[in-house]
């Protein structure tokens, strides 16, 4: 969530993060749902190298008080790495970086901005 906050701040939004942030007043709440988090590796070549690959799919949605969802988008990232032992972290970071780059682009659109400020 901190990386999503950073992505929003990168395009100029002021973001508030609270553990139990209620949807109050007119401020929308950005929700994140992890739809798929899957990584695997192939150890046949161990200890020379271990290829690791996988995918992350997540859906972000803006929710207004009353449950209205004016904006929703699903993001996909794929990661691949080759390490001597465990490449899960590198592959997951690559996939998440791809997703965050997509989010920065989505947050900068007029569609997202309009959904955010619409009352």
pLDDT tens for each residue of 69-89: 999 999 999 999 987 766 788
Q: Which of 47, 39, 41 is nearest to 85 (CA)?
A: 47
Give residue 105's domain range.
2-19+27-117
- Give the number of domains in the chain: 1
54 confidence band (pLDDT: 50, 70, 90): very high
pTM for the model stands at 0.80
Residue 45 has a pLDDT of 67
First to last CA, the chain: 25
Half-sphere CA count of 75, side-chain side, radius 13 A = 22
Residue 3 has a pLDDT of 82
DSSP track, 24-93: -TT--EEEEEEEEEEEEE--TTTTT-EEEEEEEEEEEEEE-TTS---EEEEEEEEEEEEESS--HHHHHH
Q: Output the six-digit token pair for 86.
A: 């465990």
Which CATH number do you get for residue 65? 3.30.160
């Amino acid at each position: 969530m901190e990386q999503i906050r950073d992505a929003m701040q990168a395009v100029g939004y002021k973001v508030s993060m609270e553990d139990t942030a209620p949807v109050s007043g007119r401020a929308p709440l950005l929700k994140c749902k992890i739809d798929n988090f899957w990584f695997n590796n192939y150890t046949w070549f161990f200890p020379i190298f271990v290829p690791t690959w996988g995918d992350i799919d997540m859906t972000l949605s803006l929710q207004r008080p009353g449950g209205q969802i004016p904006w929703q988008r699903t993001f996909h990232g794929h990661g691949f790495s080759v390490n001597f032992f465990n490449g899960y972290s590198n592959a997951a970071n690559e996939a998440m970086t791809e997703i965050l780059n997509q989010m920065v682009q989505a947050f900068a659109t007029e569609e997202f901005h309009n959904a955010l400020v619409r009352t």
